[in-house]
Amino acid sequence: MTRDADPAISDEDLMVRVREQNDQDAFAVLVSRHQQNLLNYFVRSGVQYDGEDLVQQTFLRIFRYRNRYVVSAKFTTFLLLVARQVWLDELRKRKRRERGEVPMPEEPIDAPVQQDVSDTQHVENRQDVLRLLETLPDGLRQVVVLGVFEERPYAEIGRILGIPEGTVKSRMFHALGRMREFLKNDESGTPVKGKKK
């Protein structure tokens, strides 16, 4: 099987092959199909430098825990569940680093974000959106990442984050309202709580 396997073979079928037969070729196809989306997920979640290493960690965990994959579940839901856990672990490590418990920095050398951005407008636009997302605590930000960027149905977001669908809806409302307030105050020059300079 090549990495550009028949698109008719679903992610779920490939994952079953990985689970039942340790099929690394099938896994290669899954990696090839989803690595970019996963990298986007981490960047939108707030990763600045080490997105690719978190992508690597996520796929490693998927492989490590392949027996836990349930056939009835969508592969992308499983993938995002694991990615979410990797991200939470990363946040915990960052807190430990702040307390001085981490000997090696978590953000390795690859900085593809900076390498790809060339023109000034591009950078400003990027900084603006990231600044906007930074006004949100992680709980609200995850709802925005999965709902606005990934366009996942709220029920699926609820399964990934382990919260009821109604909570997803109210968090989305609060997140949008908070960002709108930030933008209004930003334009009028009023300082806003949580604003990052």
Q: Which residues bind another protein (CB under 8 A)?
A: 3, 22, 24, 27-28, 31-32, 35-36, 39-40, 43-44, 49, 51-53, 55-57, 59-60, 63-67, 98-113, 115-117, 122, 125-126, 128-130, 132-133, 144, 147-149, 151-155, 165, 169, 172, 176, 179-180, 183
Closest separation between CB of residue 37 and another protein, Å?
A: 10
Using the minimum distance from each CB to another protein, give the nearer residue, 73 or 183: 183
Using the minimum distance from each CB to another protein, give the nearer residue, 36 or 190: 36
Using the minimum distance from each CB to another protein, give the nearer residue, 81 or 145: 145
Pick left, alpha or beta for residue 195 (phi over 0 → left; psi -120 to 50 → alpha; otherwise beta): beta
Closest separation between CB of residue 81 and another protein, Å?
A: 18
Using the minimum distance from each CB to another protein, give the nearer residue, 59 or 81: 59
